[in-house]
Amino acid sequence: MSVILETRDVSCVFRVSGGFMAKKRSLHAVNGVSITVEKGSVLGLVGESGCGKSTMAKMLLGLQAPTGGAVLFDGEPLGDMDRLARARRVQPIFQDPYSSLNPRKSIEDIVTLPLRVHKVGGPADWSARAAEMMDLVGLSRRYLTSYPSQLSGGQRQRVAIARALAMKPEVVICDEPTSALDVSVQSQILNLLMDLRQELGLTYVLISHDLAVVEHIASRVAVMYLGRIVEEKDTETLFGNPQHPYTRALLASVLTPEPGKGVPDAQLGAAFPNPLAPPPGCMFHPRCVKAMPHCSTTPPQPVPSGDGHVECHLYAPARKNVA
Ligand code: SF4
pLDDT in the model for residue 98: 73
Cβ(316) – ligand 1 distance below 6 Å: no
CB of 310 within 6 A of ligand 1: the answer is: no
Asked if pLDDT for residue 255 goes beyond 80, the answer is no
Q: Determine the average pLDDT of the residues in 162-191.
A: 92
For the Cβ of 284 lying below 6 angstroms from any atom of ligand 1, the answer is yes
The rounded distance, in Å, linking the Cα atoms of 235 and 205 is 13
What lies within 8 Å, CB to CB, of 262 at 6+ separation is: 256
Q: In the structure, what pLDDT confidence band is assigned to residue 271 with cuts at 50, 70 and 90?
A: confident
Q: Which pLDDT score is estimated for 214?
A: 93
292 lines ligand 1 (CB under 6 A): yes
Length of the chain: 323
Least confident of 33-37, 234-238, 249-253, 270-274: 270-274
Q: Which residues are CB-neighbours of 234 under 8 A, at least 6 positions away? A: 219, 220, 221, 306, 307, 308
Flag whether the pTM goes above 0.75.
Answer: yes
Report CA dihedral (291, 295, 301, 305) to the nearest 10 degrees.
Answer: -20
Q: Residue 293, exposed/middle/buried by CB under 10 A (0-12, 13-18, 19+)?
A: exposed
Name the least confident of 28-37, 173-182, 302-311: 173-182
Assess whether pLDDT exceeds 90 at residue 182.
Answer: no
* Residue 90 bridge partners (DSSP): 171
Determine the pLDDT at residue 184: 84
Distance from Cα 46 to the centre of ligand 1, integer Å: 18
* Ligand 1 binding pocket includes 295 (Cβ within 6 Å): yes
pLDDT value at position 275? Answer: 83
Q: What pLDDT shows up at residue 183? A: 85
Does the structure show a pLDDT above 50 at 241? yes
Work out which ligand 1 atom sits closest to the CA atom of 295. Answer: 2
Q: Whose CA is nearest to atom 1 of ligand 1?
A: 291
Looking at the predicted structure, is the pLDDT value of residue 266 above 70? no
* Ligand 1 atom closest to 300 (CA): 5
Task: Delimit the domains of the chain by residue range.
Answer: 3-18+25-254+274-322
Pick the residue with more confidence: 68 or 181? 68
Count CB-CB contacts under 10 A for residue 241.
12
Helix and strand counts by DSSP (H, E) for the chain: 9, 12
Atom index in ligand 1 nearest the CA of residue 288 equals: 1
Cα(312) to centroid of ligand 1, in Å?
5
Going by pLDDT thresholds of 50, 70 and 90, the confidence category of residue 96 is: confident
Q: Which pLDDT score, from 0 to 100, does residue 252 have?
A: 85
- Over residues 159-171, the mean pLDDT reads 96
Nearest-5° Cα angle at 315, 266 to 271? 30
The preferred substitution site among 284, 301, 315, 322 for testing ligand 1, maximizing ligand atoms within 8 Å of CB, is: 284
| Ligand 1 atom 7: residue of nearest CA | 285
Architecture of the domain delimited by 3-18+25-254+274-322: 3-Layer(aba) Sandwich (3.40)
Task: Kindly calculate the radius of gyration of the chain based on its CA atoms and give it in whole angstroms.
Answer: 21
Is-contact 207 191, C-beta < 8 A?
A: no
290 lines ligand 1 (CB under 6 A): yes
Percent of the chain clearing pLDDT 70 (strictly above) = 92
Nearest residue (CA) to ligand 1, atom 3 = 312
Ranges 99-103, 110-114, 135-139, 172-176: which has the least confidence: 99-103
Max Cα separation, the chain?
A: 67
281 CA distance to ligand 1 middle (Å): 9
User: Average pLDDT, whole number, for the chain?
Assistant: 90
Whether the pLDDT of residue 71 is over 50: the answer is yes
DSSP, residue by residue, 119-168? T-S-HHHHHHHHHHHHHHTT--GGGGGS-GGGS-HHHHHHHHHHHHHTT-
3-state secondary structure string across 240-284: HCCCCHHHHHHHHCCCCCCCCCCCCCCCCCCCCCCCCCCCCCCCC
Which ligand 1 atom is at minimum distance from the Cα of 292? 2
Q: Mean pLDDT throughout 260-284?
A: 71
Give 261 or 156, the one with higher predicted confidence: 156
User: For residue 259, what pLDDT band results from cuts at 50, 70 and 90?
Assistant: very low
Which tens digit of pLDDT belongs to each residue from 49-66? 889 999 999 999 999 999
Contact 60, 7 (CB under 8 A): yes
Q: Are 221 and 53 in contact (CB under 8 A)?
A: no
